[in-house]
Amino acid sequence: MPGGSVNITCVAVGSPMPYVKWMLNSEDLTPEDEMPVGRNVLELNGVRESANYTCVAMSSLGIIEAVAQVTVKSLPRAPGTPIVTETTATSVTITWDSGNPDPVSYYIIQYRAKSPDSKYETVDGITTTRYSIGGLYPNTEYEIRVSAFNTIGQGPPSNKVEARTGEQAPASPPRNIQAQIISQNTVIVRWEEPEEPNGQIKGYRVYYTMDPSKPMSSWQIHNVQDSVITTIQSLVASETYTIRVLAFTSVGDGPFSDPVHVKVLPGVPGQPGKLRVGRVRDTSVELIWDPPFSKEPIKSYELIYKAAKHGTQEKKTFEPRSSYVVEGLRANTEYSFSLAAISSKGIGAFTNEMTQRTAQASMSVQRFCTVPL
């Protein structure tokens, strides 16, 4: 390491015994009046540069010389700033200049998404000056830097380079789809952007049909740009429509949202939102939902359910609320549930079927004791 200390020893033997001195280039390092016989130890302190030191042995028989090389090793220098040569949606390829005249053991790459809370990921053991960093998130800005490692340790990092990965089709569907009737044949549809857009959303496609059993290719399509709200007109009155929405980027279409249903009849409630399960017991299941949009007061709810395999459909009607406990179920049995709201104008669209298995029946243990007569 620079600034370190080292002792180098020179031993010469002969008859008569020679005097021994050290030289650095043409400079005598041993004073002539202090020149020892046979052995000379040169103490070097604060050494910062490599150099060749010459040991000179002299007697009446002549002069001989030997060279001792002192090499100063230090941490490697910072490599040159990385250059981005290629990007994909999930990888960035970089090259860099070593920045070191001496060989290094390997290089270390550190990278992170460009955000205040992100931490550096590290890839080490790289023996070339070109590398592709994989497993990255699409459409994300990254900071990348490189450092070198030698026998002394890891040197300082290079300057950072910034690179953005490419786009992909969205990895998730639009969220919170809502459909509401605004006239005899018009529905307004709202949604939120996907959680994983993977790029700049260019638009949305709203698919709708009266027969959801048909393949998606035969559904009607309504394209939307620069908005998360749209209206669909010229619908058939009193019919129930199924609606699904997808987002797309410049690369392609993302996945479809779950279907929502809407009945084209003014005044009937919309579809209850986010039907989900609360507490589950062996003979009961609690259902929870968000109240639907409705211009008319909701008078009641209608719940249909059945055992998933060979069950008879049951129907329950109850007053307005946001949760309901279905009782009288069989233990360890899977049931399907679907819910609709009712106003004075009629019944709205049912939710998608949701399935839930009841809990195992609890075991009871009876104890008997015998009383001697």
Alpha carbons within 13 A on the beta-carbon side of 197:
15
- C-alpha 153/C-alpha 133 separation (Å) is 23
Would the pLDDT of 311 be above 60?
Answer: yes
Task: Tell me the HSE value of 232 on the side-chain side, using a 13 A CA sphere.
Answer: 28
Nearest in space to 53 (alpha carbons), one of 86, 94, 95, 8: 8
Q: What is the pLDDT of residues 56-107, one digit of tens each?
A: 999 989 999 999 998 888 899 999 999 999 999 999 999 999 999 888 999 9
Residues in contact with 165: Cβ distance below 8 Å, sequence separation at least 6, in sequence order: 87, 88, 89, 90, 91, 92, 136, 137, 138, 139, 140, 142
The average pLDDT across 123-144 equals 96
Q: Confidence band (pLDDT; 50, 70, 90) for 364?
A: low
Q: Which residue has the tokens 């996907």?
A: 194
pLDDT at 373 over 90: no
pTM value surpassing 0.75: no
Q: SS3 of 10, please?
A: strand
State the Cα–Cα distance between residues 243 and 230, nearest whole angstrom.
12
| pLDDT category of residue 365 using cuts at 50, 70 and 90 | very low
User: pLDDT for 192-240, tens place per residue?
Assistant: 999 999 999 999 999 999 999 999 999 999 999 989 999 999 999 999 9
Q: How many residues make up the chain in this entry?
A: 373
Read off the tokens for 6.
């080292």
Q: Say if CB 138 and CB 168 are below 8 A apart.
A: yes
Q: Alpha-carbon distance 243 to 291, whole Å?
A: 19
Output the pLDDT for position 1: 64
- Calculate the alpha carbon distances from 276 to 56, 263, 283, 320 in Å: 93, 22, 17, 17
- Report the amino acid identity of residue 311: G
pLDDT of residue 368: 46
| Residue carrying structure tokens 């939120």 | 192
